[in-house]
Amino acid sequence: MSEFVHKLKSNPRNNVIDDSFWQIKYQDDHRGLELIPLLTTTIPANKSGVVVKLIKDHVDEDAHDLGHLRRIAKEADLIKEGQVEGETADSTEKKPASEVFLRVIIASKDTEVDFETIKAGITAILSYEPPFHTDYASKYLPFTKQESVEWSRNAWPIMWRGNTAAIQTKLSDSELSEMKQKLNEVIALSKANSGTKELPVATLIVDPKTGEVLSRKLDTRHKQGNPLNHCTMEAIAEIASQELARRQERGTSKQEREREGKQETIDGEEDDRLYLCLEMHVYTTHEPCPMCAMALNHSRVGRLVYVESSPGSGGIEPNSGGSHGIHWNPQLNWKYEVWKWVGDDLGVEKVDESVNA
């Protein structure tokens, strides 16, 4: 096993199930504590409503996403090591005793707002100038609850409501054995190209409900004289042409029924029409190139499983090609799960790094 895979396996966050399948997510899911400076102020609890409203009116949009932070923290919770003291903490503090004091986020310091106006506004509300501080907060939502607790101890408190990016996808034992069986099937198919000028690359598209293989494609880009005819593109096209034929067949039989004066339609005829490759599972021998990875996105597949990484040309893994992570890009309107085989050697033939598998 390569050193790369071993390193990933040793990191518990990297989602390896049963020592054999590694779930690849967007690389930004795995980031540590990175701090951003905040401008905050200390105010009496009974004034927090008005002050928060004033802040909201002045700060349209913060430079950072602060959705994971508490807007207001208890003063007592904030005395901790590593805390940077306020710029004007020693300024005129005339707060009456016996009141409860809260510390409120005005905005992150990178935000382009007129801080002086806001400070003046708060001073006017309180009728005295409160202390303003620079506090530090985590730039990102943590990955785990444990991380949230730890980061809140070292920086501004985090509001932990879970992180959907961190939810580990569960695979049942039967799913695991199904995935392994389908991988062996796609590898067996790829062997047909051994010793020819074609690539030892193959793709299966599977209906996840029945386990039925709907398309089985071996790479034949050389024979076809089209360098873009990758087996994954061909498998997607085959699903479409099967559906087209099915609809045409049905259209014909519907017309025949109508000619015979039969009005009834078959139940569910419209409902079971396939939409692209919606939620289907795709098995390939090699990590797909950006073209194929995006074709799977356009086709709305649910899951991709493959064996061999394509460090030069791949469109999925954080360390492949241009680090695109096309299956899990927050800017795209569809995501699909990806599992890479990291178990025992299944005998997939390697291809040259300069090849788009």
CA–CA dist 357, 209 (Å, integer): 28
Cβ of residue 197: shortest distance to other proteins, in angstroms? 15
228 lies in the site for other proteins, by CB under 8 A: yes
290 lies in the site for other proteins, by CB under 8 A: yes
49 lies in the site for other proteins, by CB under 8 A: no
Is the Cβ of residue 143 or residue 334 nearer to other proteins in the bound state? 334
Is the Cβ of residue 262 or residue 298 nearer to other proteins in the bound state? 298
Query: What is the enclosing helix (H) or strand (E) of 293?
Result: helix 290-298
Considering CB under 8 A, how many residues would be counted as binding other proteins?
48
172 lies in the site for other proteins, by CB under 8 A: no
207 lies in the site for other proteins, by CB under 8 A: no
CA 188 to centroid of chain Cα atoms: 31
Beta bridge partners of 146: none
40 lies in the site for other proteins, by CB under 8 A: no
313 lies in the site for other proteins, by CB under 8 A: yes
Judged by CB under 8 A, the stretch of 71-79, 168-176, 182-190, 318-326 that binds other proteins is 318-326
Cβ of residue 146: shortest distance to other proteins, in angstroms? 34
17 lies in the site for other proteins, by CB under 8 A: no
Judged by CB under 8 A, the stretch of 122-130, 200-208, 297-305, 335-343 that binds other proteins is 297-305
Cβ of residue 243: shortest distance to other proteins, in angstroms? 5
Tokens 């806001």 belong to 118
Contacts of 123 (CB under 8 A, 6+ apart): 129, 130
Are 302 and 208 within 8 A, CB to CB?
A: yes
Residue from the set 27, 177, 241, 253 that interacts with other proteins by CB under 8 A: 241
Which tokens hold the place of 201? 């690359």
- Phi and psi torsions of 74, nearest 5°: -75, 135
Cβ of residue 94: shortest distance to other proteins, in angstroms? 25
Query: What is the enclosing helix (H) or strand (E) of 217?
Result: strand 213-218
Cβ of residue 13: shortest distance to other proteins, in angstroms? 25
Are 290 and 320 within 8 A, CB to CB?
A: no
Are 39 and 66 within 8 A, CB to CB?
A: no
- Phi and psi torsions of 245, nearest 5°: -65, -40
Residue from the set 8, 106, 231, 289 that interacts with other proteins by CB under 8 A: 289
271 lies in the site for other proteins, by CB under 8 A: no
Judged by CB under 8 A, the stretch of 72-80, 108-116, 129-137, 168-176 that binds other proteins is 108-116
Amino acid sitting at position 348: V
239 three-state secondary structure: helix
Tokens 């090591």 belong to 81
Judged by CB under 8 A, the stretch of 4-12, 30-38, 144-152, 229-237 that binds other proteins is 229-237
CA–CA dist 13, 11 (Å, integer): 5
Residue from the set 5, 126, 291, 346 that interacts with other proteins by CB under 8 A: 291
CA–CA dist 103, 134 (Å, integer): 11
CA–CA dist 127, 18 (Å, integer): 63
Contacts of 81 (CB under 8 A, 6+ apart): 154
Tokens 């807007």 belong to 71
326 lies in the site for other proteins, by CB under 8 A: yes
332 lies in the site for other proteins, by CB under 8 A: yes
Residue from the set 150, 329, 337, 349 that interacts with other proteins by CB under 8 A: 329
Pairing of strands 21-23, 101-108: unpaired
Q: Which residues are near other proteins by CB under 8 A?
A: 109, 112-116, 225-228, 233, 236-237, 239-241, 243-244, 247, 274, 276-277, 289-292, 294-295, 297-300, 312-313, 315, 321-324, 326, 329, 331-333, 353-356
